[in-house]
Amino acid sequence: MNYLAHLYFSASTPLAWAGSLMGDFVKGPVPEDFPDELRKHLHLHRWLDTYTRQSPAFQNSRSRLDPVYRHARGVLVDVFYDHFLARYWEDYSVQPLGVFAQDVYRGLQSCYDQLSPALQQQLPHMIEHDWLTSYQHPDVVQRVLLRLEERVGGRFSLAAGFVELERHGLLLEKDVCQFMQEVSPRIRSWKLELGIAC
C-alpha cells in the first residue's frame, strides 16, 4: 500500500502517522529505543504490506495489468489503490480528505525529530505539493509513477503503466472496494493485538 492507505488505517496521532509512513524507510528489526506508539505502527505498516500482497482483491488487480510490467504490477496497483482511496475518501471517512491531510502534515511536523532522515527530507515536498489530496487526480498519478521510475533508476517501466489505470479503471475500483471490505475487520483485530486504539 502507499502513503494514504497506511495513514488511513493508522491511529490518529503524530507518532502513529510517523510509524505508518516510516515502514517504507526503516528496514530490519524495529529499533527498541523508538517510542512505543511509533514502533507499533511500524509493525502495523509491515503487517498491512504483507496482507495486501496476499489479498484476493490485490491479486485480482495485479492480474488485470499487462504482464509486460512483470514485478512492477504490484507497485502500479499500490499507487492506483491510493488514487481510488483519495477519489472516494468520503465513502470511508467522515473527515474530509483535505482536513485529514492537514492534520497529518501538522502532526508529522510536530514530531519531526522522530522521523527517519529520508522521511524528514520528503516531508517538505509532501506538504508543499499536498501529496495526500493530490492523489485523486489522474495527472498526479502519472507524475508519481514517473518519479518512482526515476527513483529506481529506470529498472521498471512504471510511467508507461499509467495506461493500465485508464484501461482497467472500473474493474480496479471494484477491487479497491473489495479490498477495503476484506482488510478492515482484519486490521481491527490486529490493532487490538498490538494494543492500538481502533
pTM beyond 0.75: yes
96: domain range? 3-194
Nearest Cα residue to 9 out of 188, 192, 195, 193: 188
At 53, list the grid cell. 500482497
Question: Digits of tens for pLDDT over the chain (198 positions)?
Answer: 589 999 999 999 999 999 999 988 888 888 888 999 999 999 999 999 999 999 999 999 999 999 999 889 999 999 999 999 999 999 999 999 999 999 999 999 999 999 999 999 999 999 999 999 999 999 999 999 998 888 877 677 789 999 999 999 999 999 999 999 999 888 888 778 877 766
Report the domain count for the chain: 1
Nearest Cα residue to 23 out of 12, 33, 5: 5
